Structure 1
Amino acid sequence: MSYRSVNNQKINIQASTWKTKMSGVGGPQFYGPPFAASCPGSSFVLFMSLVDSIFRNMPDVDDSYHRVKPKTRPDEIYDYIVVGGGAGGSTVAGRLAESEKYKILVIEAGTDEPTVMQVPALNLAFGNSNETSWGYKLDPEPVACRGSPQNRCAWSRAKMLGGCSSHHGLGYVRGVPRNYDDWEAAGNKGWSYKDVLPYFKKSEGNSEVGRLFSSRYHGTRGPMTIESYNYRPEILPDFFEAAKRAGFPISPDTNGEQFIGFSQIQGNMRKGVRVSCAKAFLRPHRNNPYLHVMLNSTATKIIINKDKVAVGVEFVYKKQYFTVMARKEVILAGGIVNTPQLLLLSGVGPKEDLDRVGIKQVHELPGVGKNLTDHVSVGVTLALKKLKNYNDLTWNAVQQYQKNRGGPLSAPGLTQLFGRFNSKYADKKGDNPDMLFMSYGFQAKCSRTGQEHELEDPEHPDAPKTIRISPTLLHPKSRGYISLRSKDPLEAPIIVANYLTESEDQERLLEAVRTLLRIFETTTLLKDKYGLELNKTTYGDCSTKHKFNSDGYWKCAMLYQTLPGEHQSSSCRMGPPSDRFAVVDNELRVYGIKNLRIADASVIPFPISGNTLATVVMVAEKAADFIKQK
């Protein structure tokens, strides 16, 4: 144990290593790699290690004693095997565990969620770490991602318990009613908005119902606590005022009656600490002897017998292969990449895809891995000329969070700013918005000293603070696919998003850019107070080929700096038997294979008008009910 001085205060520094903190069975553990490992150099180690130690010693943040203790060896047979411990897997397993008559195994490829990511402002700390993310690189894109090496955009899909609910920006945003009504109209009976709303409410424990939000749209007793952030950057209310002056509506509740407009969204958190699906649904059953969790375990095959019944799962843990059997069902919740990948590895999918890698087909299912979709964005960077680019991770901010879980670290910066609108291309009814604005800025990053005026980039002392608002296309026409690269289950699959391959998508995204810029062109409020200016980003050679801020400039920019929305879906879509590319029916059962079900974002039939987390939880809630009613 050593002592160092930070801002003239003597601080006890404990080692921050990814090892057991106390010996003895059931002692608390360190979860995740050292915080300093997320920083680019040794100059960050001292302060970041101090911050790491403080967070790891906050019981409600680290939550060591309440976490599920993983197994190191599975039993031979279970009632239900859930493949994937992410948002969908944690939810469905937790709901099944409410009945202690079921014996359940959760197989998760990653580790438990890192302590530091429970702090809202630090949600990006390990978003690209090999230990907590799959780190997928798309195969070369036909027209987009030109600013990435080999035209390969990256996807930061979580590889940890809780999945993306453990490392996303904490925004709790559902789709809009029309999305789900369209699902039912496409032949998915029981998935209209009136059918799914009770499931949204079932999972939600909203602490502000009756005060700021209506019980018509929100639940209060669910395990996933939803709250408003108790801190917001100073620019946020000024942005709302500027938007109002430009004629944009402001919504008090984007999940309620008025789902179009700018809004300060709520997050899945409890008193300033993240509430992931693992924390909400699995940890309450940590003492259930019939709920087993295997971490760092990668599923390699679904065991399907000659009668086309799913009877078990093969997986690898510490280089050893295990086969576990299921009495009742296997439930796939690996997400939009891993679920179709595992089906294909198991011989379920298009014959031509399986023949190409030498896997014997078990069942023809043309839609496996097809219809892949994602929201797509372009980043619009805005410079705040009157604010210097000071680091937001300060010692004072750490102390505020340590004292009452408040201050800048209790919110994910400007991510809480959300906007959803209709473009001129949207459905004339106006109930299916096709534009989204996602925001980034004022987020805590690696700090060297924690001093109040520490520059983020000392080599550029006069650089202003910047923010990024990303106009996003909600209903792209372009569709991609996922397929196997080889029969090796540990090799990353082929992923082609086909971003912006449909010319109409480019026109729609351009419209979203122009809609955003209208705010700053209509009023000088933000320019006068913050010195806000549109950054003259080069976007490769776009600024030399095209006049700045011209339509050609922005079309070039979206193909150069293509930003995945990280709201991927539909790679194993739900649909009626008449839909040739449907993979599951309206009870999420895989067509042609008995006792096999899917409960993740891959079943979403069409992209929704919002983030996917809340919808995935709803899907998993319905899956659990289908299973219990069987």
Structure 2
Amino acid sequence: MQSASQISMNQLLPLVLLLILGGSRADVNRLLLDQLNQVGLVNLLELATRPNVPRDLANYDFVVVGAGAAGCALAARLSENPQWTVALLEAGGVENIAHLTPVLAGYLQQTSSNWGYKSVPQKLSCLGMNNQECALPRGKVLGGTSSINYMIYNRGNRRDFDGWSAAGNPGWSYDEILPYFLRSENAQLQGLENSPYHNHSGPLSVEYVRFRSQLVDAFVEASVESGLPRTDYNGESQFGVSYVQATTLNGRRHSAYSAYIKPVRDLRSNLHIFTYARVTRILIDDATKSAYGVEFHYKNKPYTFKARKEVILSAGAFNSPQLLILSGIGPEDNLKAIGVPIVKELPVGRRLYDHMCHFGPTFVTNTTGQTTFTSRVTPTEVLSYLLAGNPATRLSSIGGVEALAFLKTPRSSLPKDWPDIELIMVAGSLASDEGTGLKLGANFKEEIYDRMYRELAQARQDHFTLLVMQFHPESVGRLWLRDRNSLGWPKIDPKYFAAEEDVEYLLDGIKASLRIMEMPAMQKIGARLLQRPTPGCEGHKFASDDYWRCSIRTLSYTLHHQVGTCRMGPESDPTAVVNHQLKVHGMRRLRVVDTSIIPVPPTAHTNAAAFMIGEKASDMIRSEWS
């Protein structure tokens, strides 16, 4: 008789092979992911927690809402004290083999592991998206967005954190937060073994992606030829170019759940993890302004958990502000409009920042077999990856991302060591999955794929894309609630490119990428700009400044970096929601611990910062309650 794990393996291999061998058929790919999610592969990967069934009115010392990077780190650290009981509530389920396979990152946004948020229709951006709605992926799974993102590990710039401290947030300078980045990290980075900027004993694996194409080698060499130094962008200086550092372990995604919760979940009876638990409201004593529990839904039934010490929101940049507003903490106008009694007036959701990038430019090359096409992955590679654990196959590619370059632009007024632009080198494009993954997850119009990328996919033409991302946008958006339905979605208006200057920074970044293409290393592989005008921009001369401005507003693409909706700052700051200890202003026993507290967009991909925030918050909480 077969064991459960053998059955899972027998189910798994035909499904994965189906994807590889039938990669050009969208229906086959969608079927694969649906089946992977249904199968779950519980025993094969030992990922699923033994499901905890909630007990109504149960008491815990700490109730943590949201199991993303910050929430998992926080729950794991607090539960190190055996005298404290910790409940970790997550609205989604558990990871499976699709989450752990980095090359499938582009597909995960179509699954139930993504909340599926979209912006309100934009007038100045996302013109290439259906209904001009920007897709805003956020993780709804144990691990949060760290389980569906592209696994890029980029902490930020020293000046980011020194700026937080100078703005009235003591304890958040670079020298004070670096130990928390280090505490979370288990770096396996060849050549950086003795770097003081990396640690080798933390729970979160960070490594260079082992699979590399010839395209990335040419890009790194050309970047150096253009004047960029080789750098460790998580080290002394960000400025320069580097192969990407990723949150992977031996070529598998290493999410917050895998790093922090899975190793301890069966060893700590004081840590209770609840999946599919949708929190709907914070319970607050109006007289004392103290949080004392939460209400949530589990299997369509309401439950209440009570917190003896604190309620901690780690639900992310959209869900944490939503829960505050539903609980009576937020802007007066929004609370009155939806009929929620005011507990504390605060500017929750009034500020929303994000990193917007341009999906391109794309370059074709004279190479063969280097671009990451899903349908190019061979059965041999699948078996080598799944059975032999080979970390250097194409399946280990983090959605095609292979290198990062950090640049200054001529218009910048920031110090030399503070980059304005990041170039993200991707060994592919929307053509890589033949329109079955990223196009759908990012909400791109069919016309964009048909006119720009379909021919590349059909010909399997080698090519790569440089995503151009701006680090310090001036545009500020907002989040609010349309009604008091606790199971509804917040309204999100990022207002991308409301500040015209943001477009100009991206234009400078595109020009910088074109200069890199002129370098000898790029000429050796025949790199040249894809001659496919962006739909809607045909009225401008191809590759002119106005053409690129049009393309920037059309091929707008976000990278999951929303911050600021529960902004950190002193009580004197009219834009602040939490103080430097992450306590909600004017409230007791209520904190927000996630990237929503980040005051301004950092020079970073925010996943690394989320781990740091969880680690630092755990020390602040332990210090207070010990």
TM over 0.5: yes
| Cα distance in structure 1, aligned partners of 2:495 and 2:25 | 32
**Per-residue deviation at 1:73?**
2.0
Task: Call closer, same or farther: CA 1:121–1:581 in 2, change over 3 Å.
Answer: same
**Per-residue deviation at 1:240?**
1.2
Task: Name which of 527, 531, 534 aligns with 1:539.
Answer: 534
Q: Which amino acid in 2 is paired with 1:613?
A: N
1:149 paired with 2:130, answer yes
1:403 paired with 2:388, answer yes
Partner residue in 1 for 2:401: 415
| Cα distance in structure 1, aligned partners of 2:21 and 2:85 | 40
Q: Which amino acid in 1 is paired with 2:259?
A: A
**Per-residue deviation at 1:155?**
0.9
Q: Which amino acid in 2 is paired with 1:547?
A: K
1:254 paired with 2:233, answer yes
| Partner secondary structure for residue 263 of structure 2 | helix
Task: Name which of 522, 526, 550 aligns with 2:522.
Answer: 526
| Cα distance in structure 1, aligned partners of 2:35 and 2:484 | 45
**Per-residue deviation at 1:40?**
5.3
1:114 paired with 2:96, answer yes
Q: Which amino acid in 1 is paired with 2:113?
A: T
Partner residue in 2 for 1:453: none
Task: Name which of 93, 111, 115 aligns with 2:75.
Answer: 93
**Per-residue deviation at 1:429?**
2.3
- Contact in 1 for aligned 2:37/2:96 (Cα 8 Å): no
**Per-residue deviation at 1:42?**
4.8
1:245-394 superposed matches below 5 A: 245-251=225-231, 253-287=232-266, 288-306=268-286, 307-365=288-346, 367-379=347-359, 380-387=361-368, 391-394=375-378
| Cα distance in structure 2, aligned partners of 1:37 and 1:141 | 36
| Partner secondary structure for residue 301 of structure 1 | strand
Partner residue in 2 for 1:620: 614
**Per-residue deviation at 1:300?**
0.5
Task: Call closer, same or farther: CA 1:40–1:359 in 2, change over 3 Å.
Answer: farther
What are structure 2's unaligned runs of at least 5 residues? 437-452
**Per-residue deviation at 1:427?**
3.4
- Contact in 1 for aligned 2:151/2:253 (Cα 8 Å): yes
Task: Name which of 568, 572, 575 aligns with 2:566.
Answer: 572
- Contact in 2 for aligned 1:393/1:447 (Cα 8 Å): no
How much is the aligned-residue C-alpha RMSD, in angstroms? 3.1
**Per-residue deviation at 1:567?**
1.1
Q: Which amino acid in 2 is paired with 1:269?
A: T
| Cα distance in structure 1, aligned partners of 2:333 and 2:25 | 44
| Cα distance in structure 1, aligned partners of 2:320 and 2:20 | 31
Deviations 1:135-166 (A, max 9, x none): 11100123111122222111111111101111
Partner residue in 2 for 1:26: none
Partner residue in 2 for 1:440: 426
1:234 paired with 2:214, answer yes
| Cα distance in structure 2, aligned partners of 1:587 and 1:37 | 52
**Per-residue deviation at 1:465?**
2.9
| Cα distance in structure 2, aligned partners of 1:274 and 1:356 | 43
| Cα distance in structure 2, aligned partners of 1:517 and 1:495 | 34
1:558 paired with 2:537, answer no
| Cα distance in structure 1, aligned partners of 2:20 and 2:532 | 31
**Per-residue deviation at 1:602?**
0.2
1:499 paired with 2:493, answer no
- Contact in 2 for aligned 1:232/1:414 (Cα 8 Å): no
Partner residue in 2 for 1:25: none
**Per-residue deviation at 1:221?**
1.3
Partner residue in 2 for 1:6: none
- Contact in 2 for aligned 1:372/1:480 (Cα 8 Å): yes
Q: Which amino acid in 2 is paired with 1:204?
A: E
- Contact in 2 for aligned 1:68/1:282 (Cα 8 Å): no
- Contact in 2 for aligned 1:238/1:526 (Cα 8 Å): yes
**Per-residue deviation at 1:412?**
1.8
The percentage of counterpart residues that share the same residue type is 33
- Contact in 1 for aligned 2:186/2:205 (Cα 8 Å): yes
Q: 336-345 or 457-466: which moved more?
A: 457-466
**Per-residue deviation at 1:124?**
2.4
Task: Name which of 500, 505, 508 aligns with 2:505.
Answer: 508
| Cα distance in structure 2, aligned partners of 1:432 and 1:535 | 31
Partner residue in 2 for 1:424: 410
- Contact in 2 for aligned 1:226/1:270 (Cα 8 Å): yes
| Cα distance in structure 2, aligned partners of 1:460 and 1:433 | 34
- Contact in 2 for aligned 1:94/1:281 (Cα 8 Å): yes
| Cα distance in structure 1, aligned partners of 2:455 and 2:533 | 22
| Cα distance in structure 2, aligned partners of 1:363 and 1:137 | 28
Task: Name which of 585, 588, 613 aligns with 2:582.
Answer: 588
Deviations 1:262-309 (A, max 9, x none): 111221222222211111111122121111111111110000012110
Q: 36-45 or 561-570: which moved more?
A: 36-45
1:26-41 superposed matches below 5 A: 41=26
- Contact in 2 for aligned 1:381/1:537 (Cα 8 Å): no
Deviations 1:308-337 (A, max 9, x none): 100000011111111111000000000000
Deviations 1:24-52 (A, max 9, x none): xxxxxx9xxx9999995455599989999
- Contact in 1 for aligned 2:103/2:400 (Cα 8 Å): no
| Cα distance in structure 1, aligned partners of 2:8 and 2:68 | 35
**Per-residue deviation at 1:405?**
2.1
| Partner secondary structure for residue 629 of structure 1 | helix
**Per-residue deviation at 1:440?**
2.4
Partner residue in 2 for 1:451: none
Task: Name which of 161, 165, 170 aligns with 1:184.
Answer: 165
| Partner secondary structure for residue 125 of structure 1 | helix
Deviations 1:173-227 (A, max 9, x none): 1101010000011111110000000111111111348x42444111121111212
- Contact in 2 for aligned 1:394/1:447 (Cα 8 Å): no
| Partner secondary structure for residue 123 of structure 1 | helix
| Partner secondary structure for residue 161 of structure 2 | helix
Task: Call closer, same or farther: CA 1:46–1:496 in 2, change over 3 Å.
Answer: closer
Q: Which amino acid in 2 is paired with 1:281?
A: Y
**Per-residue deviation at 1:67?**
4.6
- Contact in 2 for aligned 1:254/1:263 (Cα 8 Å): yes
Q: Which amino acid in 1 is paired with 2:304?
A: T
- Contact in 1 for aligned 2:12/2:36 (Cα 8 Å): no
| Cα distance in structure 2, aligned partners of 1:142 and 1:44 | 33
Q: Which amino acid in 2 is paired with 1:416?
A: E
| Cα distance in structure 2, aligned partners of 1:256 and 1:359 | 47
Task: Name which of 105, 113, 130 aligns with 1:123.
Answer: 105
| Cα distance in structure 2, aligned partners of 1:387 and 1:614 | 35
| Partner secondary structure for residue 468 of structure 2 | strand
**Per-residue deviation at 1:568?**
1.0
Task: Call closer, same or farther: CA 1:218–1:361 in 2, change over 3 Å.
Answer: same
**Per-residue deviation at 1:84?**
0.4
| Cα distance in structure 2, aligned partners of 1:460 and 1:440 | 15
| Cα distance in structure 2, aligned partners of 1:109 and 1:48 | 20
| Cα distance in structure 2, aligned partners of 1:513 and 1:472 | 10
| Partner secondary structure for residue 216 of structure 1 | coil
Deviations 1:43-99 (A, max 9, x none): 559998999999959x8xx531x6532312235111100000111111100111111
Q: Which amino acid in 2 is paired with 1:604?
A: I
Partner residue in 1 for 2:175: 194
| Cα distance in structure 1, aligned partners of 2:495 and 2:33 | 39
Partner residue in 1 for 2:473: 476
